[in-house]
Chains A and B, each alone.
With several copies, the nearest count.
Chain A
Amino acid sequence: MTGLNKIKSISEAVAIVPDGAHLALSGFTIARNATAGAHELIRQNKKDLTLSQCIGGMDVDLLVGAGLVKRYIYGGGSLDRFGPLLNINRAIEQATIEVDEFSGLSMAMRFMGGSLGLPCIPIQSLLGSDLLESLLKKEKPEVKVTECPFSREKMVLLKTLQPDFAFIHVQKADCEGNAIINGPRWDEDAAKAADKIVIIADEIIPTELTPYLVEEVRIPACRVDIVVHQPYGAHPTSLYGSYDYDYDHLTEYVASARTEQGMDEYLDRYVRETGNFSAYLEKVGGLNKMISLKADPLKKY
């Protein structure tokens, strides 16, 4: 029944994020990154952000490289065979960010618990590892080794995560915010854990169509605060069923990110000096490039 139009521009969406906020981005290595969201956060020069993510993606690597991040809570990550998350690794090595390093499932459980409004949730991995030891040594540990009062099994109680904002790139959404994610959905619980959800959709579908695609809707409008329309907004990462990753650009990114200076030049060239994401898309090859990345309708890449 509802027909609220929640569509805003990416700059309006990012403008609501205060310095110091806790954000979750949708990226997972080189897939479905919230690149358009990350670029705009850099353009608006947000400060002292906390970022959380199951597995690191290029979107957060960009933010760390741009110096926006104070703390990063994640479960490890890379850019797959393109290379490591060079900015994140460098920032950890130089202690320029605070890092909370978990496993993939423990991050997912922290988000899932947060999405359910639970203050804590148990898990039975992490036990016996140095990941756990490091987390227990923190000033305010967000993990606690305990035992189940029923089975007496050992378990780790995890403090759940509720980011202030989630920026989630998806294939399709209607203007109310009903969001379709095709393919794996590593970020669904992080989205639902957040207090405010910003959906960045490659394609906006008419709300009349939503009931016919209902089985693909993963995040309901009633949890979504803002919808942004940004075609190719996950570039240079892939969007399953829509477009492939940009091999050339990812290769260029990793080469640039090897040094701080190279990263700074990359950010100047592709983010700071482009006033908006459309200008970025032009700079990386425009229409011809995007046509070349178009997914095969059967293979989905």
Chain B
Amino acid sequence: MSEHNFTMGEIMAAAGSKELLDGQNVVVGIGLPQIAAILAQNTHAPNLCMINEQGVIDPSPVDPAMGMADPRMWYKAKHFNSFIGTLGSILHRGKVDVGFLGALEVDQYGNLNSTLAATSSNSFRHFTGSGGGNDIASLAKNIIIIMRHDKRKLQASVQFNTSPGYIGEGNLRGKVGLKGGGPSRIITDKAVMGFDKKSGRMKLLSIHPGVELDDIIENTGFKLLMGSQVPETRAPTEEELHLLRKVIDPTGIYI
């Protein structure tokens, strides 16, 4: 990858940004999702509205933060409310266009595990759990998952389905009664993936410049659907790189 003038964080941020349309309501977490959203605001989507689940709408953070509960993430917000005022009267009301999520594990149907991982046959480690993740996965029109491309994190089925994707073979969302659209993109440090809406299975959409297809196949714990030709992921533009490095994340804390 050394031949490229961008980092994997930068191409991931640019790929995330590209998925966002002007005027959309986006639920973001800290880190790459936030960076991708701010990049979109600074380029093609100036009227993107960022929603933090605990009750913060449309902030303009200027300092790096330790998380969503860090008031640095609430700077110059235009509305404060509660979970009910964000995940209730915006998300559950059907007005969130895109939700960004991360996870411990994602499976071939886009189901997310953020709850637990077995350490042996009768013991497990407990992690963060859902937070608003299950609600966002259930109810947002589109879900974008940003994560590291790692075989242990991309398994055929998750150990615990915290936040449903397409659930099982054939897209079972409608059957169980979920109103949101389900995962639309998975952006990793190696590739961008989408889903075949009929089967509900993950599909390789593009490979980041400098990454080999074999590398992706080796680091994915299940068979990825893919076309006969898989294009290269769009590299970040000069403008995007300038914004990311000079304006959005000048101290390089997130990317």
Contacts and interface: CB of A to CB of B under 8 A. Distances in A.
Interface string B83-94: 111011111111
A186 B127 CA distance: 21
Contacts, number: 274
B79 interface: yes
Nearest to A190: B82
A108 B69 contact: no
B78 A125 contact: no
A274 interface: no
Contacts of A210: 78
A270 interface: no
A74 B134 CA distance: 13
B71 A75 contact: no
B89 A192 contact: yes
B178 A127 contact: yes
B49 interface: yes
Contacts of A116: 84, 88-89, 92-93
Interface stretch (B4-12, B118-126, B203-211): B118-126
B161 A129 contact: yes
Interface residues of A, number: 81
Contact of B131 (A31, A55, A189): A55
Contacts of B46: 1-4
Interface string A218-255: 00111100000000000000101000110100000000
A189 B76 CA distance: 24
B187 interface: no
Contacts of B17: none
Which of B46, B80, B91, B139 is most buried by chain A, counting CB atoms within 10 A of its CB? B80
A139 interface: no
A115 interface: yes
A140 B223 CA distance: 40
Interface stretch (A80-88, A164-172, A256-264): A80-88
B78 A103 contact: no
B50 to A, nearest CB: 7
A106 B23 CA distance: 27
A217 B25 CA distance: 18
A52 interface: no
A48 interface: no
A58 to B, nearest CB: 10
Given A28-B69, A222-B51, A214 B78 contact: yes
B70 A78 contact: no
B128 A76 contact: yes
A152 B49 CA distance: 33
25 contacts: A1-B50, A76-B131, A77-B129, A80-B67, A93-B124, A101-B115, A103-B134, A106-B135, A107-B83, A108-B87, A117-B93, A127-B164, A128-B164, A128-B167, A128-B178, A154-B177, A186-B82, A207-B78, A211-B78, A220-B57, A221-B49, A221-B78, A222-B57, A222-B58, A247-B66
Shortest Cβ-Cβ A-B pairs, 6 listed: A80-B67, A76-B129, A154-B177, A184-B55, A108-B83, A128-B176
Given A104-B130, A189-B84, 5 more contacts: A2-B48, A76-B130, A115-B93, A220-B78, A244-B71
